[in-house]
Structure 1
């Protein structure tokens, strides 16, 4: 059986629900899981969401969980747990393969051709781009070839597929080893969370299939090289084929709308897609009512980025403060940071 999961905190539930609704519509045979990089509220459970399970960080085989969680921002943690969830699902006897979709993706047709690729391959990945931008379109080259691909990675990790075989298991083990230490949004060191590591995958592993079918993982970064048409949300085509899944990345900060208008604004179909998604999101206001469970110390004070960065960079602090969230005792990381960090890490406070 095929197991499918996404990774998202509680504030992303409106998007998760739209994704899962689309999966159940087109592939009711899939077993669906939500990986939760957040604390699980009492009111939240799998049956009420119509899914098969909620996988918490406590379920995963991750050493020194509390210390490890603290080192990550919400985006970093949401991506860092992905290979651990993959490994968790591959251990199930009923699992033939695992598919992952970002929570801001929506399926618009069945994916039988994609699943069929697992008959001959073990690892499925989608590149940001499958065609070069026209040489005269310098904006597209800058935005998509340089920023999306050269900076953030050739492949987009909004989707991946892994067969439960020797190649798939080897990939999951390797990826979890890398992300345990190096799932960081750190452009200055060449890292972009979980994604750039996948540039190695076609070299390191056998059975890797690069999905170049234009109907998969359609997004703002490839709109300029794909012909998207249709006036009914249920019959949109891409290069003449049914739209498989669309990635509404950057929706909340407005970048999706900006880029979609820039590269797909000349087509009414893109406007139909965006308006449809906006209306779906508006029906669910839960994002406005929940904050990230790992965003504060035990005293309620918010954790800022420098507090995570310094802790992540120093093994001595990790050894002395194995639970850096704890802030009610005099001997705690919170007090150390407030008294010593500006002295020992002056450059971060300029």
Structure 2
């Protein structure tokens, strides 16, 4: 195993999103190896054939070597579980010899290449993207975005990239160990799944690099400072930088409400939402009760 490997973590309820991510990843990075870490089992009567999916390899939670697995699984809700396995899966890929590992949430879609991520991992051990890159200036926006980051974490762990270096692996082990024991949605006690832990990462690991390009990890929580535009040639931009990937968090729910709130009346945001919903419909699984 070598070169760049990308993985996501999901349950079968998010299989449509995994497929959209896989499609977009193959469009821009067909040379990358794409892995799915599955946290649950197929519902009765549903046949999952990984060979027919835009996925190169599937790793199931029972293959991760987690001690006392049944008890550990049932300690978590589904979101906590899909998050808690990320550190173990990251270490698995690094142990197998991957030069560079990129994690992307299943509700992300690429709109451009990530060659700069690969180049940055030649010089840095870990890449993180903050929820915000600029301060907001309206009270409601501060409440939604800046105070939201103070509660949920400075960095959005829908994206993470790690080089297979001594320091990169040391980070991966630390993050894995914290997630195995402390990956819970417990904001009053200072924890929000995997994200609050990485508030500490730049202090603990000198090779952490904060990726400040506004085209990466655009979402409802930073749209107020990253207006989306579509040029006449079809290229999509965020804050005048090429859009690399968009995080469609909680689409058809609270996330969509926030996207609408901070779209600023720009049609481009609604075009992205329409495109994403249409791809979800095209990738739905008729055999899943929640598909």
What band does the TM-score fall into relative to the shorter chain? Answer: over 0.9
Match of 1:255 in 2: 254
Match of 1:18 in 2: 20
Match of 1:196 in 2: 196
Determine which of 116, 122, 125 is the counterpart of 1:122: 125
Check the 8 A contact 2:100/2:118 in 1, yes or no.
Answer: no
Distance 1:202 1:99 in 2: 18
1:70 and 2:78 aligned: no
Match of 1:50 in 2: 54
TM (normalized to structure 1)? 0.79
Q: After the TM superposition, which residues 122-201 of structure 1 pair with which residues of structure 2 at under 5 Å, given as runs?
A: 122-134=125-137, 137-147=138-148, 149-201=149-201
Check the 8 A contact 2:20/2:283 in 1, yes or no.
Answer: no
The alignment partner of 1:119 has SS state of coil
The alignment partner of 1:156 has SS state of coil
Cα shift readout 1:231-252 (whole Å, capped 9, x = no counterpart): 6795111122211000001114
The alignment partner of 2:101 has SS state of strand
Match of 1:280 in 2: 279
The alignment partner of 1:250 has SS state of coil
Cα shift readout 1:125-155 (whole Å, capped 9, x = no counterpart): 0000000002xx10110000001x1000000
- The alpha-carbon deviation at position 115 of structure 1 amounts to 1.7
TM (normalized to structure 2)? 0.94
- The alpha-carbon deviation at position 87 of structure 1 amounts to 0.4
Distance 2:53 2:233 in 1: 24
The alignment partner of 1:271 has SS state of helix
Distance 2:274 2:48 in 1: 29
Check the 8 A contact 1:12/1:103 in 2, yes or no.
Answer: yes
- The alpha-carbon deviation at position 67 of structure 1 amounts to 1.0
Match of 2:100 in 1: 97
Structure 1: unaligned runs, 5 residues or longer: 292-350
Structure 2: unaligned runs, 5 residues or longer: none
Cα shift readout 1:83-139 (whole Å, capped 9, x = no counterpart): 00000000113x1010000000000011111221111101000000000002xx101
CA distance change for structure 1 residues 233 and 25 in 2, over 3 Å: closer, same or farther? farther
Distance 2:121 2:4 in 1: 11
Provide runs of 4+ in structure 1 moved above 4 Å.
231-234
| Mean CA deviation greater in 51-60 or 158-167 | 51-60
Give the aligned length.
Answer: 287
- The alpha-carbon deviation at position 186 of structure 1 amounts to 1.3
Distance 2:123 2:19 in 1: 32
| Larger of the two Rg values belongs to structure | 1
Q: After the TM superposition, which residues 220-239 of structure 1 pair with which residues of structure 2 at under 5 Å, given as runs?
A: 220-230=220-230, 234-239=234-239
Distance 1:120 1:25 in 2: 26
The alignment partner of 2:59 has SS state of strand
The alignment partner of 1:181 has SS state of helix
Distance 2:30 2:289 in 1: 29
- The alpha-carbon deviation at position 288 of structure 1 amounts to 7.7
Match of 1:81 in 2: 85
Check the 8 A contact 2:227/2:263 in 1, yes or no.
Answer: no
Distance 2:63 2:100 in 1: 19
Match of 1:113 in 2: 116
- The alpha-carbon deviation at position 287 of structure 1 amounts to 7.7
